[in-house]
Structure 1
Amino acid sequence: MDLDVFVTAHRAEWDRLDHLLKRGRRLTGTEVDELVELYQRTAAHLSQIQSSAPDPALTARLTQLVARARATVTGTRRASWRDATRFLTQGFPAAVYTSRHWWVPTAVASILVAALIGWWIAAHPEVQSSIAAPDDLRRMTRPGGEYEAYYSSHPAASFAAQVWTNNAQAAAMCLVLGAFLCIPVLWILLLNMLNLGIGLGLMASAGRLDTFLGLLLPHGLLELTAVFVAAGTGLRLGWAVIDPGPRSRRTALAQQGRAALGMAIGLALVLFVSGVIEGFVTPSGLPTWARIAIGVAAEAAFLLYVYVLGGRAARAGQTGDVDAVDRSAELRVAA
């Protein structure tokens, strides 16, 4: 793009838009239509300049102009209960549903890794001895030992709050750090699956795998699903940097980033539910089958929520991104 020629060709439109914006509420109906058209053109011009011939001064001027025009055209928009309801019934489940091709394989691969680690530890006493001394291993795996006492070591309410905070932080890290070419997300997943695999292996070696699963499954099904969704979304965000497709890398990252931000809010609510289960159900005196049934019911409810409400919203065009009026105009670029 020849920037000087481009500026000469469109300066009059930008000046006219600036003039109309300065007039404010004194515009006629025809002038309002003109303002909207010029706003759309200027937003497109800004996108072209950013992708083809970025010039700091010109970009700053057009960005300010587009922002002023957008505020005039759309007005000030405040979040409402209707927005929250729409997010919970359409935006969030649609975002999880549309990213299922990322988080479902992530979940399958992660569980396989944890299972392999658990088998390796259970089948090799020398690996167990490298983790801890024999007395320490017995203290961890015996009836009433550290693995079991962990869930009842604090009051249920404070324990649920602590668990929720820790898991929400892990999910947020997956979502945020995905932009760094996926590598931090894979590392976080590996650490989580390593911890899970160690627990599986040590308790299996002590002949108490059923006890471990009875403690893990009530809250772990929903908790791990939320972590896998966050990790899959983070990987999708990182892949947008590596391969943005027909969009500019900046546009692709912005789209996936906005969806990831909404995903963080939704997953915090999901992890709150799993934290409540871990704080109140897992250490309760309920039979093992009843505790597991509650966990299975919570997991099934979440999957139905995603695949029914989310699938319906996705087929209606929802992606989890913000509404068009709440984001700047964008253009496709050549691949």
Structure 2
Amino acid sequence: MDLDAFAAEHGPQWRRLGILLARPRRKLTAAEVDEMVFLYRRAATHLSIVQSRSPDPDLVATLSQLVLRARARLSPAPGFRWATLGQFFTVSFPGEVYRAGRWCAGVAAGFVGLAAVLIAIVASDPDVALRFLSPAEINSLVEHDFEAYYSNNAPENFGFAVWTNNAWVSALCLASGVLVLPVLYLLWSNVLNLGLTGGIMVGNDRADVFYGLLLVHGLLELTCVFVAAGVGLRIGWAWIAPGPLRTRAQAVAVAGRSAVVVALGLTPVLLLSGAVEAGITPSPLPTVVKLAIGALVWLAFLGYVTWFGALAVRQGRASDLGAFDREVLAPTV
């Protein structure tokens, strides 16, 4: 393609679009707005043609900037609104978690079941724990380390460390979901750690300390991990089995956008979990009271996701991008 001839033929249209974009919005007439829409569509088509046939860097950059400016003028961002934030936490986030509910429940069932088996094996056979830890390390864990872990540091520092660590684990589950195996490895690492520690504590008659501390924050914390892992594995399954009406790229894109919504929504939930672990778990409150607080927070989260998520699904309200924003369609007029 002759770029000079192409630019000479369509250059007046590009310059006219630039002139219209330079004018204040309130000074544009209705006819000029219609003209701007037409020229924007033509410029988008020209950009697509140049990129596909003769991608000259300078011309591509010029047309890209022009098209982006026109699009921003014709569909300006609404800016921050409290209603948008409210919609995110009442529709988008719970809706996406609810839609991935079977994946999350499957991860939870597998995790808890395998952890229970490992705890039983380690508790019934002391030699199993000795393959991982020395007798001195086991004694230190039982007598001091497990309980001291929750109170060795200042609550605010410990809470922040817990929050960032759990957020990192959840982010890894979501980001590596398309590969499947990294998510399974992360889950197995946590199951092994939980099973080994729990088995040692239970086998040494410290089950009350183990469950009395772990369950206070662990109910909500592990639920967040199950959600992240379930949504991450759903991305991997979208790549494996995209369905008859979508390409793999489209299926992964939809699942990936859902994962971004879940990642943002889990951030404050993990912050709450970290606050419970730092402030309630090591507190001098009676164990029954601490367990009641942890269970109440956990049930509140489950109720919130179930109620608002089911409502969003019944009403057909999704958090995904509109069809126009999902892929770039070059106009042909």
Which residue is equivalent to 1:129?
Answer: 130
Distance 1:28 1:17, change over 3 A: farther
Distance 1:244 1:286, change over 3 A: same
* 2:103 counterpart letter in structure 1: W
TM-score by length of 1: 0.80
**What SS class does the counterpart of residue 246 from structure 2 fall into?**
coil
Match runs of 1:1-335 below 5 Å: 23-24=20-21, 29=30, 32=33, 57=55, 67-142=68-143, 145-179=144-178, 181-245=179-243, 246-322=245-321, 327-329=325-327
Which residue is equivalent to 1:9?
Answer: none
* 1:300 counterpart letter in structure 2: L
Structure 2 CA distance for aligned equivalents of residues 199 and 184 of structure 1: 23
Distance 1:212 1:253, change over 3 A: same
Structure 2 CA distance for aligned equivalents of residues 234 and 56 of structure 1: 39
**Highest CA radius of gyration, 1 or 2?**
2
Q: List runs of 5+ in structure 2 lacking aligned partners.
A: 2-8
Q: CA RMSD in A?
A: 3.3
Structure 2 CA distance for aligned equivalents of residues 33 and 248 of structure 1: 35
Stretch deviating more after TM superposition (67-76 or 264-273)? 67-76
Deviation at 1:314, TM superposition (A): 2.4
Q: List runs of 5+ in structure 1 lacking aligned partners.
A: 5-11
Structure 1 CA distance for aligned equivalents of residues 134 and 38 of structure 2: 74
Structure 2 CA distance for aligned equivalents of residues 74 and 147 of structure 1: 56
Identity of aligned residues (%): 43
TM-score by length of 2: 0.81
Stretch deviating more after TM superposition (115-124 or 223-232)? 115-124
Deviation at 1:193, TM superposition (A): 1.1
Distance 1:242 1:134, change over 3 A: same
Structure 2 CA distance for aligned equivalents of residues 295 and 262 of structure 1: 25
Structure 2 CA distance for aligned equivalents of residues 197 and 107 of structure 1: 15
Confirm or deny: 8 A CA contact 2:17 2:39 kept in the other structure: no
Confirm or deny: 8 A CA contact 2:20 2:32 kept in the other structure: no
Distance 1:114 1:37, change over 3 A: farther
Structure 2 CA distance for aligned equivalents of residues 293 and 271 of structure 1: 19
* 1:127 counterpart letter in structure 2: V
1:81-132 Cα shifts (integer Å, max 9, x gaps): 3322221222111111111121111111111111111122112222121122
1:32-75 Cα shifts (integer Å, max 9, x gaps): 4576589789989999x9xxxx77849x6997776455323211
Distance 1:185 1:133, change over 3 A: same
Which residue is equivalent to 2:4?
Answer: none
* 2:252 counterpart letter in structure 1: L
Structure 2 CA distance for aligned equivalents of residues 17 and 251 of structure 1: 33
Deviation at 1:241, TM superposition (A): 2.5
